[in-house]
Amino acid sequence: MTNKAGLLISLLLLCSTAVLAKQIETKGDPVALSRPGEYYMGPKWSPSGDQVAAGGASYTGLYLLDFPTGNVQQISNDYSAGYGFAWSHDGTRIASKISHFNKMRRSHTLVSFNISDGVMETLSEPRSRMSGTPIWTDDDSQLYLTFAEKFESFKTDDSNQEVSLPPLNYIKDGRFQNRLVLQSTGRSSETTHFSDQDHIYSYAISPDGSKVVYSTAGQNLWLAKVDGEDRVSLGRGSAPAWSPDAEWITFMLTSDDGHSITASDIYVINVDGSSRIKLTETPLIFEMNPQWSPDGEWIVYDTDQRGQLFIQQVGWR
Amino acid sequence: MKRSIVFLVLTASMLMAQVTGLSGWNIFVDPGHSITQNMGVNGYSEAEETLQTALHLRQLLLSKTDIDTVWSSRYNDQVEVGLSERSTDANNRGASWFHSIHSNAGATTHNNVLLLWGQLWNGTPDPPVGGEAMSDIMVDILADVMRIPQHSWGSTGDCSFYGTCSQTGFQGPYLSVNRRTNMPSELSEQGHHTNPLQNQLDMNTDYTRMLAYSMFWTILDKFELARPYPGILAGIITNSETGVRVNGATVEVNGQSYTTDTYESLFHEFPNGDELHNGFYFFEDLPDTTHEVIVSADGYFSDTLVVSAMSPDFVTFRDILLVPSIPPYVIQSNPAGGESSFSAFSNPSITFSRAMDGASVGAAFSINPLVAGMVSLSVDQKRMTFQVQDTLEFLTDYTMSLAGTAVDLLGRPLDGNQDSVGGDDWSIQFTTSPPDISPPFVNASTPSNGSTTVNQRPIINLVWNEELHPNSISSDLVIFEQVSNGQLQSFTLEHHVINSRSVLVIYSTNDLLDVEAYRIRLLSGFADLYGNVRTVQTEMDFSTSNFGYQVINIDNFETNPANYWWEITASGSNSGILAPLCTRSFVTDLSVFTATDNTSLKLNYGWDTNASSWLIREYLSGGPGRNVHFTSSKIMQAFVFGDGNGNKFRFCVDDNIFGTGAHEVSPWYTVDWYGWKLVSWDMAADGTGTWIGDGNLNGTLEFDSIQLSHTPGQSSTGTYYIDNLRVVTRNYLGVDEMELQQPSELALLPNYPNPFNPWTTIPFTLVEDAHTSIRVYNLRGETVATLLSGKLTTGYHETRWNASDVSSGVYMIRLEANGITRTQKVMVLK
């Protein structure tokens, strides 16, 4: 085959892919999930999709809001409980780090909240220094911390059985780490192939575990395999989250003047970068921290300043 | 041996951590902004300044305490870090505390310290609490270290300060770093990077280290831990005569040496680096004992002082005035050397570079041929006058001399030949004029005889060929009348002497009729200094114009003008000037005559005739005048009292002030007039002059400066008085003159610019004195800002809105006065 023929076939394949690719669109206007005057930050869907958990103002306290009614249940009033929490895969628990302050000193405790009765289980001793936010292993038997200063895992039940850790991905010192790569290569450094210049502020692993989308300083959004290969830029954005079918990514793009957020909107982008769509067009409302519902039909986000949660229905054409 | 090593290591470690008690604690330090954002007035940005402070604070805490760790949101000025990334980073790390470092912006005269802690809409601190208590401590220490005042709000909650929080709207805290972090937090504003002196200090990294010490001490105080002895000696070295901070001064203490910043060491990195100074020196870790401090700099006498007690827990400040070592010299004389027609009735004078000892000057002065008289010094002791007892002889060659024995107040002898070595003589020759036997006459006027565009409240200047004898001047000799019917007009008469000429200034005390002819008649009786009496009448005719002006005042120099107008020598744009002769002051002896206007701006200039270019930029740095915004449709005006010397005057404005602003200037006006003249720059019709702008008056404008220049061959010294600086709109007869003076209805006039970012000006008129409010609403009807609320008088008013705190979009401006409202839409476009 000549080079020209190969090029022609490639172009045809590209065009047909573009024609067949589904396009996302909003369905109706955003709907308020929470009431005006209530303040929530950092919403996350339950695995079943029938609830949204969110932190309170300054991430104090943890709340559950029923979808779509917005009925509220508070399951914690602890400091920091609402920041960086994680739903277990079976949807029965939420892991979080809570804080206590005493004479300027802060102590952190890793805990999990039982959704059915709100009982809090302590998973670590209080520590003056505990960086990171929790992530559940796939079988919910352990928790480990991402954005931590060192790798550490915590058992989530009372069994004495030793469990070997599966391949895990996490952030340490702002760098992406992959334990599968570490174990297979025997490298002493945990850092994978990501650029040394990339200090990661937010990230999300694709549902199939093969890719990671992450943001670095200046809201630069990147997509790569979890081993760091095939890194491509997705333009500007941060706080990314995957669609359940792993074909789309939602994220926020904010502007600020050094004191306040001056603009923020929610976007979606196709994983091949071919379609970047702005979902919100409200200059007076600053939408942030989007999360895709498990069924892929809704995106929930919070709003800066007002702290109200909204949901936007999306569809494809 | 091993034990010894371990012991030494432990000892070193203990010495490093002088303070224990922070173990188990950590802090996230946030240097505000990124890269070179928020540029300071002299080219050093807020982002660079805050980064330096943050890195010093981190180093201090890690090296002097047992703190667990100190994180920072950025460690260099290469990476841009957004607001949400800062709080996310701190939250992910689980920091115990968050402190954000900023500096403020505003008028160039503003410089203060402000602390803002997280606060909710109802006024309570944002949990987890702690930022308020930390702020209350830091605001005092930071202000004391910077030696500047606290902001009037001092330490306050951010919702109270910004005033925009509400239960159903923006619930607070206002500041993103206070709202989005999950630990106690606060934000400090360490002075103003828009203040020139502050910005030049900020460039010195040791200065930012001193600021970091204030935050370090705040943390220790909050933990109730004793501050370790810092051994800090710091201060500012200043020229004792000029007040300029000294570059390259060396301070030696305890075997250590510190040299203040110079162009070569630092300032070359900034625009106008050769004009920058900070004079700052800094030592730390000096032993707690008495110190001898030796200060030296080229061109100054060395100085030695003793610091007998170092502060045990704070900065020991010692500011130092260095005395210039160059000897005094003669700047100018009157007459100048070689003058061939010096009035025999005048008193010769000599101006020195610095204050002189009167006795030595009197003893050193001589004039030949000998003339009876007495030497006296001016109040500032820089100007000597030889008061001739009778008169000099007509048509006589004189030599006026000062011996090198004349000394300044410190005993340094006169440098007669200006070779920087004192002790040599100075002398000039001049010749007196012939005797005067002619009566005086008017040889010029402003406005000129026959002018047809005189405004309705004219100021008439009648310029004589010589000085009049004061006793011959009387308003009885002046007739001001309407030509058509002989109706006498009331006026006020002033007499001024400029360059040995008399100027009679006639202020009409009432408005004249439009398009009407008037006449000034000077009756016989005016006499010169030699008794020659004018025996004939002089007439001067003019007629009034068919237009008036709607005036927006920029500055009439009545309210604290010295706070806003720089000293001439403070501007880095000057060139070809003799600095000691260039002064600005505000005087009441010569101003445009009105019932309420008593003060004018007086500019003395002195040009170096050996220079190739000449410029004085008399800069308006702030105040209400800088808040007057206008477009190129306006006419800029000022009354300028000219000295007739043929040098030049012009206006300078900043254009496109909400974008990439630049400086634009008017054409030059040659000051060939004596007395008051209304200088007008019709910006739409007259075009611009050439300076550093592109020659176009783009966007919104504001006043920048008055500029002067020299005309080669003309006098190198002189004085201008300037009054009633303003922008006006010309109103033609029968259109709306009275309407503008007495508004017929409550009106909210179009704001400008619109759309805008972030400032807009909102003009409005009141038909009666009224309690008036202007508020801004968003489209949901929520109050965004209250721009004013209070009693105002009838007439034209303006207010301004800074929309930097709101997002792009349409807003409603609502004017309410005595129950009547007016509303209009405005658009913020970012």
Residue range B556-583: average pLDDT? Answer: 85
Nearest to B92 among A39, A133, A304 (CB): A133
Flag whether pLDDT at A305 surpasses 90.
Answer: no
pLDDT at B493: 92
Q: d(Cα B116, Cα B136) in Å, to the nearest integer?
A: 10
- Closest CB to B175 among A131, A219, A259: A259
Inform me whether the pLDDT recorded for B150 exceeds 50: yes
Between positions 148 and 187 of A, the ones with CB within 8 A of B are none
Q: Give B399-434 pLDDT, tens digit per residue.
A: 999 999 999 998 999 999 999 899 999 999 999 988
Q: State the smallest CA–CA distance between residue A49 and chain B in angstroms.
A: 26
Nearest chain A CA: its distance from B183 CA (Å): 8
Task: Specify the range with the lowest mean pLDDT, choosing from A123-132, B336-345, B409-418, B622-631.
Answer: B622-631
Q: Which amino acid is at B653?
A: V
Sign of the CA dihedral with A102 first, then A105, A107, and A113 last: positive
Tokens of B359: 């006795």
Q: What whole-number distance in Å separates Cα of residue B465 and Cα of residue A279?
A: 80
Distance (Å) from the alpha carbon of A148 to chain B's nearest alpha carbon: 7
Across the range B582-609, mean pLDDT stands at: 86
- Tell me which chain A residues have a C-beta less than 8 angstroms from the C-beta of B74: 217
Q: Which of A36, A59, A79 sits opposite B168 (nearest CB)?
A: A36
Residue B546, token pair as written in the block: 């068919």
Question: Which residues of B are less than 8 Å from A202 in CB distance?
Answer: 88
Contacts of B779 in chain A (CB under 8 A): 284
Contact B88 A41 (CB under 8 A): no
Rounded-to-10 torsion of CA B584, B588, B593, B594: 110
pLDDT (tens digit, 9 = 90+) per residue, A167-206? 677 787 777 776 654 444 444 444 554 555 578 999 999 9
* H-helix or E-strand spanning residue B14: helix B2-16
Domains parsed from chain A with CATH numbers: 25-316 (2.120.10.30)
Which tokens go with B734? Answer: 């029968």
CA–CA gap between residue A258 and residue B33 (Å, rounded): 5
The lowest-confidence range among A5-14, B96-105, B473-482 is A5-14
Whether pLDDT at B93 is above 90? yes
Partners of B84 on chain A (C-beta within 8 Å) are 238-239, 254, 256, 261, 288
Does the pLDDT of residue B332 top 80, yes or no?
yes
The distance of A46 to chain B (nearest Cα, Å) reads 22
Nearest by Cα to B70 from B33, B36, B98 = B98
Which residues of chain A neighbour B181 with C-beta distances below 8 Å? Answer: 58
Residue of B120, B804, B809 lying closest to A284 (CB–CB): B809
Of B120, B168, B176, the CB nearest to A259: B176
Give the CA distances from residue B594 to residues B509, B523, B556, B588, B636, in Å, rounded to whole numbers and listed in that order: 8, 26, 11, 12, 20
Scan for tokens 């020209």, then name that residue.
Answer: A4
Percentage of residues of chain B with pLDDT beyond 70:
95
**Interface contact A283-B809, CB threshold 8 A:** yes
B330-431: CATH class? mainly beta
Which of A104, A196, A197, A252 is best to mutate for the B interface (most B CBs within 10 A)? A104
pLDDT in tens, B633-649: 899 999 999 999 999 99
CA distance B649 to B666: 9
Instruction: Classify domain B15-222 at the CATH topology level.
Output: Aminopeptidase (3.40.630)
> Closest Cα to residue A280, out of A246, A244, A304?
A304
Q: Which residues of A touch B780 (CB under 8 A)?
A: 284
CB of B247 within 8 A of CB of B265?
Answer: no
Q: How confident is the model at residue B363 (pLDDT cuts 50, 70, 90)?
A: very high
- CA dist A210 and A229 (Å) reads 11
Q: Is A282 on the interface with B (CB under 8 A)?
A: no
Closest CA to B614 of B565, B665, B649, B654: B649
Pick from B33, B92, B174: CB nearest A132? B92
Q: Which residues contact A254 (CB under 8 A, 6 or more apart)?
A: A219, A238, A261, A263, A264, A286, A288, B82, B83, B84
Q: Name the one residue in this structure whose structure tokens are 């100018």.
A: B332
Domain ranges of chain B: 15-222, 233-322, 330-431, 442-545, 550-732, 742-828
Q: Which amino acid is at A20?
A: L
Categorize the per-residue pLDDT at A18 as very low, low, confident or very high, splitting at 50, 70 and 90. Answer: very low
User: B102: which chain A residues are within 8 Å (Cβ-Cβ)?
Assistant: 258-259
Options 2.60.40.1120, 3.40.50.620, 3.40.50.720, 3.40.30.10; CATH for B233-322 is: 2.60.40.1120
In this predicted structure, what is the pLDDT of residue B748?
81
Whether residues A129 and B24 touch (CB distance < 8 A) is answered with yes
Q: Do B25 and A283 touch (CB under 8 A)?
A: no
Nearest to B94 among A130, A238, A307 (CB): A130
pTM listed for this prediction: 0.65
CB B790 within 8 A of CB B667: no
Chain B residues whose CB is inside 8 A of the A105 CB are 24-25, 96
Give yes or no for residue A123 having a pLDDT over 90. Answer: yes
- Please tell me the distance from the alpha carbon of residue B132 to that of residue B751, in angstroms, as a whole number: 39
Q: Is B672 on the interface with A (CB under 8 A)?
A: no
Computed from CA positions of residues A201, A207, A209, A210, in that sequence, does the dihedral angle turn out positive or negative?
negative
Residue in A258, A317, A312 with CA at minimum distance from that of residue A285:
A312
Which of B688, B697, B691 minimizes the C-alpha distance to B667?
Answer: B688
End-to-end CA distance of chain B: 70
The answer to which of A34-38, B290-294, B342-346 has the lowest mean pLDDT is B342-346
Please name the residues between 586 and 645 in chain B that touch chain A, using a CB distance below 8 Å.
Answer: none
Cβ-based burial of B639 (10 A; exposed 0-12, middle 13-18, buried ≥19): buried
Put simply, whether B85 touches A (Cβ < 8 Å) is yes
Fold category of B550-732 in CATH: Jelly Rolls (2.60.120)
A84 touches chain B (CB under 8 A): yes
Averaged pLDDT for residues B443-451: 87
**Residues whose CB falls within 8 Å of the CB of residue A197, separated by 6 or more in sequence, listed in order:** A216
Share of chain A above pLDDT 90, in %: 62
Q: Which of A259, A281, A308, A309 to mutate to test the interface with B (most CBs of B within 10 A)?
A: A259
Fold of B442-545: Immunoglobulin-like (2.60.40)
**CB of B24 less than 8 A from some CB of A:** yes
Interchain pair B182, A218: CB under 8 A: no
Q: Is the dihedral of CA B370, B373, B376, B378 positive or negative?
A: negative
Q: Do B176 and A260 touch (CB under 8 A)?
A: yes
Instruction: Quote the minimal CA–CA distance from A20 to chain B in Å.
Output: 37
**For A33-92, what is each residue's pLDDT tens digit?**
999 889 999 999 999 999 999 999 999 999 999 999 999 999 999 999 999 999 999 999
Query: What fold does the segment set B742-828 form as a domain?
Result: Immunoglobulin-like (2.60.40)
Is this complex scored with an ipTM above 0.85?
yes
pLDDT at residue number A165: 62
pLDDT band at A254 (very low <50, low <70, confident <90, very high): very high
Compute φ and ψ for A211, nearest 5 degrees.
-130, 160
Residue B664, SS3? Answer: strand
- What pLDDT does B14 receive? 41
CB contact under 8 A, B82 and A260: no
The pLDDT score that the predictor gives to residue B793 is 74
State the count of interchain CB pairs (< 8 A) between A and B.
152
Find, in chain A, the residue whose alpha carbon is nearest to that of B125.
A58
Query: How far is Cα B548 from Cα B737, in angstroms, rounded to an integer?
Result: 7
Please tell me the predicted confidence (pLDDT) of residue B732: 66
Radius of gyration of chain B (CA): 32
How far is Cα of residue B778 from the mean position of the Cα atoms in its chain? 37
- When CB atoms are compared, the residue of A106, A108, A261 closest to B83 is A261
When pLDDT is averaged across residues B430-456 and rounded to a whole number, the result is: 88
Using a CB–CB cutoff of 8 Å, tell me whether A105 touches chain B. yes
Contact B127 A60 (CB under 8 A): yes
Of A36, A37, A131, the CB nearest to B92: A131
Chain A: closest CA distance from residue B227 (Å): 18
Please indicate whether the domains covering B233-322 and B742-828 agree at the CATH topology level.
yes
Over B117-139, what HEC string results? ECECCCCCECCCCCHHHHHHHHH
Confidence of residue B670 (pLDDT cuts 50, 70, 90): very high
Q: Mean pLDDT of all residues in chain B?
A: 89
Residue B86 to residue B179: CA distance in whole angstroms: 12
Q: Do the chains contact at A59 and B174, CB–CB below 8 Å?
A: no
Supply the pLDDT for residue A159. Answer: 67
b/e per residue B462-491 (b: at least 16 CB within 10 A)? bbbebbbbeebbeeebbbbeeeeeeeebeb
Give A-chain residues touching B116 at CB under 8 angstroms.
none
Query: DSSP characters for B416-458?
Result: TT-SS---B-EEEEEEBPPPP-S---EEEEESPTTEEEE-SS-
Tens digit of pLDDT for each residue in B295-315?
A: 999 999 999 999 999 999 999
CA distance B78 to chain A (A): 11
Residue B144, helix vs strand vs coil:
helix
pLDDT of B667 > 80? The answer is yes
With an 8 Å Cβ cutoff, are B89 and A201 in contact? yes
Residues of chain B found within 8 Å of residue A83, distances taken between Cβ atoms: 91, 182
